[in-house]
Amino acid sequence: MSKATATQEKTASEVRTISVSFSGKLDSGELCTGTPTITEVTSSDLTLASKAVSTEILVINGVSTPIGEAVQCSVTGGTAGTTYEIKIAVSTDATPAQTLYGTIKLKVVSDTN
């Protein structure tokens, strides 16, 4: 399973979009497809919505990620001082199709930081 290289951060009241690249796991010419499954591992404090494969070029951690090679979702909620683990599963358009997995960490900080 892939892990993101850095912990992402948001304040407790922010609505943030997280983006995760799968470029390094895809075969040549392969793209992510369908609606990814994105879940919080340890609690139900976060609301994860608008789960989708990227439809535009994204810059993730300073790297340009082509259309269809990343997944995104919006995140709300969380308790300040808590770091959450989020699991991602996404299918590909390969024949036969693959299912790729990844995880990221999301740290929620106080709104006053």
Q: What is the pLDDT of residues 43-75, one digit of tens each?
A: 999 999 999 999 999 999 899 999 999 999 999
Q: Residue 81: give its domain's CATH number.
A: 2.60.40
| pLDDT recorded at residue 6 | 63
Q: Is the dihedral of CA 62, 47, 108, 89 positive or negative?
A: negative
| pLDDT recorded at residue 7 | 80
d(CA 107, CA 18): 12
Domain count, the chain: 1
Positions in the chain whose pLDDT score sits under 50: none
pTM score, two decimals?
Answer: 0.87
**CA distances for 112 relative to 11, 39, 49, 94, 105, angstroms:** 8, 27, 25, 46, 21
Q: Which of 63, 42, 45, 46 is nearest to 54 (CA)?
A: 63
Q: What is the span of the domain harbouring residue 28?
A: 2-109
| pLDDT recorded at residue 24 | 93
Please, is 10 exposed, middle or buried when counting C-beta atoms within 10 Å of its C-beta (0-12, 13-18, 19+)? buried
